[in-house]
Structure 1
Amino acid sequence: MATSDSPSRKGVLIERRSIDYIPDNERHGSPLSQFTLWISANLTVTCAVTGALTVVLGGDVFWSLVGLFIGQLIGGVVMALHGAQGPQIGLPQMILSRVQFGVYGAIIPLVLVCIMYIGFLTGGTVLTGQAVGQLLHVSTTNAILILGALVTMLALFGYKTIHAMGRVYSVVGGLTFVYLFVSLLHGHDVSTLLGTRHFTWPTFLFAVSLSASWQISYGPYVADYSRYLPKSTSPLVTFLAVGIGSVLGSQFAMTFGVLASAIAGAQFAGHEVTFMVGLGSAGAIAAVLYLAITLGKLIASTLCVYGSVMSVATITTALNGKQVIGRGARLVMILAVVVTYTGLALAANHSFLRTFTEFILFLLAFFTPWSAINLVDYYCVSREYVDIPALSDVNGRYGKWNIPGIAVYVIGVVVQIPFLSSEFYTGPLFNLLGGVDISWIVGIVIPGAIYYWVTRTHRVGHAERTIRVDSL
């Protein structure tokens, strides 16, 4: 992870860093940029559709909103704790998995997270392609190809461009959703919707699980977008900026989805983009809404592509023994990711998308144990100390395979199985608990506790201080 002694590259448009350590003279930005980025990442039609599921599956408006907010807070704490690691370590999120799993062992969660990225990108692209097609008066196929080209360019420009878009869309997206709320609620009595309450534990806990899982899914790449902040940035301030931005953005969008589903029913479900634009009537306002919806999903897609490239680079450098990748290699990886999900989006039909979405949600069961292990190790075992050069050395303190970490991860996945509920598998304890899926809670608490117990007295391999590239 060698760094250059060259002057600061803050003014360079195309990012040159990838998974390598960010030196002090290239650190920039403020926690405010974290707030605007994560509020922007959540002000999307996909987030609104996710919130609508609580009503579609039988929940009332009031308890759905309460459950979603509680889940946002729980999941937001988890994702923000990951985000706070970025400025302190100066590295993207998933490479830190080498501390808990070993240089080769980290490939296990990395492969799974790459699959998750492709799934989210595929579903989001199909949805956004409809908006772009309407906006530009082109076919959905051409719209998807245009989106792919834009995402490629934005991901290549990298960190600074992504944050700049976040600052712009935090205003544009915020105003857009305010307008959509006003238009949606015009002529409807919100107090009646909120006053109709029929609390049931399954529907309430479903809402909690849904929003908590939404937040936790950001864990594998949230630090990718905070790693350029100065090392002096307070971890608490970073935590709050990331967490509050993500919680507010997602709760705002999901609340719209809940109300839209309760008010419009079938008019919203399955026709989300058309319905949202229809609230602006036609003409210039409709065009602006199409543009805003597209921009929101463009940011979300760029985050996934950029994060997936960090993960692919982490896998390849573990296998070839290199510490960094060049711009050419990064461009190839970006194109590979974009071509893959664009091809799937072009070939997808509604049946395929539903099955694929269920599969991706099923994969989330593999990330709660990773998140628990990563956070317990960083904050409780390693105590925020990382030997950064050793992350690229298979013969270093972290080794090729960290068997205890891998074993706890496997246990964390296995203990969730009896509690799972998905199209692919429903565990026996799901029905015994009254149709409540608590697998994500089990997947955080049990592996986190076991990992701490296993490592609390056996801290061989952990650094006693942070060893940075520029301190050698």
Structure 2
Amino acid sequence: MEERTPRVTEVEHHGINPIPPAEQTSRPRDLFRLAFGGANTFATIILGTLPIAFGLGFWQAASATAAGVLIGALVLAPMALFGPVTRTNNAVSSGAHFGVVGRCVGSFLSLLTAITFFAISVWVSGDAVTGAARRLLGIDGGQVLRAVSYGVIALAVLVVCIYGYRFMLLVNRVAVVLGTAIMLLGIAAYGGRFDPDFAGTGTYALGEFWPTWILAALTAMANPISFGAFLGDWSRYIPATHSRRSLLAAPLLAQMATLLPFGFGLTTATLVTDAGDYITGLTAISPLWYVIPLIVVALIGGLSTGTTALYGTGLDFSSIFTRLSRVQATVLVGSLAVVFIFVGNFALDMVSSINAFATLIVLCTSPWMVIMMIGYWTRRGFYDVADLQVFNEGRKGGRYWFSRGVNWRAMGAWVPATGAGLLTANTPMIAGPLRDIAGGVDVSMVCTLATAAVLYPLLITLFPEPHEVFGPEGPRAVRTKLPNAAFAPLDGANAAFAPLSGTNVALGSSSAAASGSDGVQPDAGRS
């Protein structure tokens, strides 16, 4: 079939329905551009300033940031594997493990992340414009100018999201090159003032060094983890013929490259008077020749981060509220996010708000990702494209119906894992009753990942999943229930797909073949 690449100015008509193979024309490098472009922005710069705002010295903050980004990138990378096979986004793909109704967990996580990072991008861009106007023109528009700036930037983000994937890819291509160049130019702007021996304020956000260092690492980790629900939005346009290595490398390298904007924020935060009011302080100390490039980074970055966050949530909501098209759902979610932006910035403390949402993103999304990865491994990358769309199309049944559309095994691991993280969290705004279990050190990330990594395999071992969810090669390292003789794929013509191995192999209904008489299918034994 001839490949067709839609025009950039053509409004994308695909929602979460499977992308036709003929339109899977992207490459892993496009995934890199989107993942890096969406993070090579002022939103990431702001996250980079927070360790300094928490009271850490430069090298302390740098080590916490590097650790958070590296761990988060390693957790994130496997989430790029689903889209090329399922040809839909990761929230819908999660229906294979959480059930086609239970996959609404992924939609909730997408909404949480979208509102947070859309808000950060608009806040930062609007404040940069306001600060630059004060510096260049000597005018102080106050809250009115800020409100107008927020509104204009939010509207621009909505327009890009409405046009869809191709337009967003163009914006991120620009953001990668322009943002990188201007941040590197910052060496000339601030290099003479920077002191690597900056020791911090001496007052730690959590009272002691290690709890505050862990808080800084978790804050940095929120950036790569936040992409977990969104990688499938973009990787679904990549053919499954690409190797798993290239798909894993794209988001991993993209997140490691974000050490540039993290480093920019970390370095410049040591120069401003109040790291908690970073944008105002940065525009005040910037050379006049660098103010306009700074505005460009803020505006382009605001578009890049805002669109990568908002685009995916529009997809999800159009699948949950089926009367809404992708465009209508995007406008609805965007409008709700704008309300949050104004309330959060004018009525709440921005740094505390960002920290609270970053903590929620990490603790809620990371166990969901762990369950997805374990499921991918035990299923050998086998997914039925048609049956994943059951809930979105108002139908019932199929391989992933489980119990009323919910796989209680995955849900039974995600809820306790998230709960364990929240109970042990120790941040300024989210402090669980077990926060002192490790002497005040925040062990919430360890608890949430460990709980999911132990509980989900235990549950699918003690209570085997239906045979029908596995491919013809059978499961890996787990057993299955006796196959249901009445089961048949909902759409035999649009069959399941094998794991990424260089080819995309169509499968029929043979996955419902009979198994042993004990009612449990043993592991096929293949690696």
**Alpha carbons of structure 1 residues 353 and 263: separation in structure 2 relative to 1, 3 Å:** closer
The one of 163, 166, 174 aligned to 2:169: 163
- Rounded Cα–Cα distance in structure 2 between residues aligned with 1:112 and 1:172: 30
> Size of the alignment, in residue pairs?
453
Kindly report the root-mean-square deviation, in angstroms, between the aligned alpha carbons of the 2 structures. Answer: 2.9
Contact 1:387-1:467 within 8 A present in 2 as well: yes
Alignment of 1:77-156 (within 5 A): 77-133=74-130, 139-156=145-162
Contact 1:413-1:443 within 8 A present in 2 as well: yes
What is the deviation of 1:424? 4.8
Q: SS state of the match for residue 406, structure 2?
A: coil
Alignment of 1:453-464 (within 5 A): 453-456=458-461, 458-460=464-466, 461-464=468-471
Most deviating of 413-422 and 351-360:
351-360
- Rounded Cα–Cα distance in structure 2 between residues aligned with 1:417 and 1:212: 16
Q: SS state of the match for residue 436, structure 1?
A: coil
What is the deviation of 1:337? 1.5
- Rounded Cα–Cα distance in structure 2 between residues aligned with 1:234 and 1:228: 14
The one of 209, 224, 237 aligned to 1:228: 237
**Alpha carbons of structure 1 residues 293 and 89: separation in structure 2 relative to 1, 3 Å:** same
What is the deviation of 1:135? 6.5
Contact 1:135-1:290 within 8 A present in 2 as well: yes
Match of 1:398 in 2: 400
- Rounded Cα–Cα distance in structure 2 between residues aligned with 1:432 and 1:273: 37
What is the deviation of 1:290? 0.5
- Rounded Cα–Cα distance in structure 2 between residues aligned with 1:351 and 1:115: 19
Contact 1:180-1:279 within 8 A present in 2 as well: no
The one of 336, 348, 355 aligned to 1:352: 348
**Alpha carbons of structure 1 residues 11 and 418: separation in structure 2 relative to 1, 3 Å:** closer
Contact 2:47-2:262 within 8 A present in 1 as well: yes
TM-score (norm 2): 0.78
Most deviating of 63-72 and 181-190:
181-190
Contact 2:272-2:282 within 8 A present in 1 as well: no
- Rounded Cα–Cα distance in structure 1 between residues aligned with 2:80 and 2:221: 16
Match of 1:242 in 2: 251
The one of 3, 18, 23 aligned to 1:21: 18
Match of 2:333 in 1: 337
The one of 273, 293, 297 aligned to 1:292: 297
Contact 2:110-2:230 within 8 A present in 1 as well: no
**Alpha carbons of structure 1 residues 338 and 470: separation in structure 2 relative to 1, 3 Å:** farther
- Rounded Cα–Cα distance in structure 2 between residues aligned with 1:95 and 1:186: 50
**Alpha carbons of structure 1 residues 234 and 265: separation in structure 2 relative to 1, 3 Å:** farther
Instruction: Return 5+ residue gaps in structure 2 as ranges.
Output: 391-395, 473-494, 498-503, 509-527
Alignment of 1:157-236 (within 5 A): 157-190=163-196, 192-193=197-198, 200-236=209-245
Match of 1:252 in 2: 260
Instruction: Return 5+ residue gaps in structure 1 as ranges.
Output: none
Match of 2:315 in 1: 310
- Rounded Cα–Cα distance in structure 1 between residues aligned with 2:346 and 2:186: 26
* Relative contact order, higher structure (CA 8 A, sep 6+): 1
What is the deviation of 1:240? 0.9
Most deviating of 116-125 and 32-41:
116-125
Q: Deviations over 1:386-432 (max 9, x none)?
A: 11111123311111111211111111122223311244542344224
- Rounded Cα–Cα distance in structure 2 between residues aligned with 1:428 and 1:343: 31
- Rounded Cα–Cα distance in structure 1 between residues aligned with 2:70 and 2:163: 32
What is the deviation of 1:205? 2.6
- Correspondence 1:374 to 2:372: yes
**Alpha carbons of structure 1 residues 169 and 7: separation in structure 2 relative to 1, 3 Å:** closer
The one of 458, 463, 467 aligned to 2:496: 467
**Alpha carbons of structure 1 residues 58 and 265: separation in structure 2 relative to 1, 3 Å:** same
Contact 2:164-2:311 within 8 A present in 1 as well: yes
What is the deviation of 1:439? 0.9
What is the deviation of 1:264? 2.7
What is the deviation of 1:37? 2.2
**Alpha carbons of structure 1 residues 350 and 180: separation in structure 2 relative to 1, 3 Å:** farther
Contact 2:107-2:316 within 8 A present in 1 as well: yes
Q: SS state of the match for residue 416, structure 1?
A: helix
- Correspondence 1:407 to 2:412: yes
Q: Bigger radius of gyration, 1 or 2?
A: 2
- Rounded Cα–Cα distance in structure 2 between residues aligned with 1:381 and 1:140: 51
What is the deviation of 1:221? 0.8
Contact 1:213-1:440 within 8 A present in 2 as well: no
Match of 1:41 in 2: 38
- Rounded Cα–Cα distance in structure 2 between residues aligned with 1:428 and 1:73: 29
**Alpha carbons of structure 1 residues 182 and 442: separation in structure 2 relative to 1, 3 Å:** farther
- Rounded Cα–Cα distance in structure 1 between residues aligned with 2:96 and 2:74: 22
Contact 1:381-1:452 within 8 A present in 2 as well: no
- Correspondence 1:65 to 2:78: no
Equivalent position amino acid for 2:177 in 1: V
- Rounded Cα–Cα distance in structure 2 between residues aligned with 1:258 and 1:453: 42
Equivalent position amino acid for 1:151 in 2: V
What is the deviation of 1:155? 0.6
The one of 264, 279, 288 aligned to 1:282: 288
TM-score (norm 1): 0.87
- Rounded Cα–Cα distance in structure 2 between residues aligned with 1:159 and 1:287: 29
- Rounded Cα–Cα distance in structure 1 between residues aligned with 2:282 and 2:253: 25
- Rounded Cα–Cα distance in structure 2 between residues aligned with 1:154 and 1:463: 39
- Rounded Cα–Cα distance in structure 2 between residues aligned with 1:26 and 1:47: 32
Equivalent position amino acid for 1:307 in 2: G
Q: SS state of the match for residue 269, structure 1?
A: helix
The structure where helix makes up a greater share of residues is 1
**Alpha carbons of structure 1 residues 463 and 11: separation in structure 2 relative to 1, 3 Å:** farther
Equivalent position amino acid for 2:369 in 1: S
Q: Deviations over 1:151-192 (max 9, x none)?
A: 1221122111111221111110001111123322214443x4
What is the deviation of 1:36? 2.3
- Rounded Cα–Cα distance in structure 2 between residues aligned with 1:255 and 1:390: 44
Most deviating of 33-42 and 239-248:
33-42
**Alpha carbons of structure 1 residues 352 and 35: separation in structure 2 relative to 1, 3 Å:** same
- Rounded Cα–Cα distance in structure 2 between residues aligned with 1:109 and 1:39: 22
Equivalent position amino acid for 1:27 in 2: Q
Contact 1:209-1:438 within 8 A present in 2 as well: no
Match of 1:31 in 2: 28
Contact 1:177-1:253 within 8 A present in 2 as well: yes
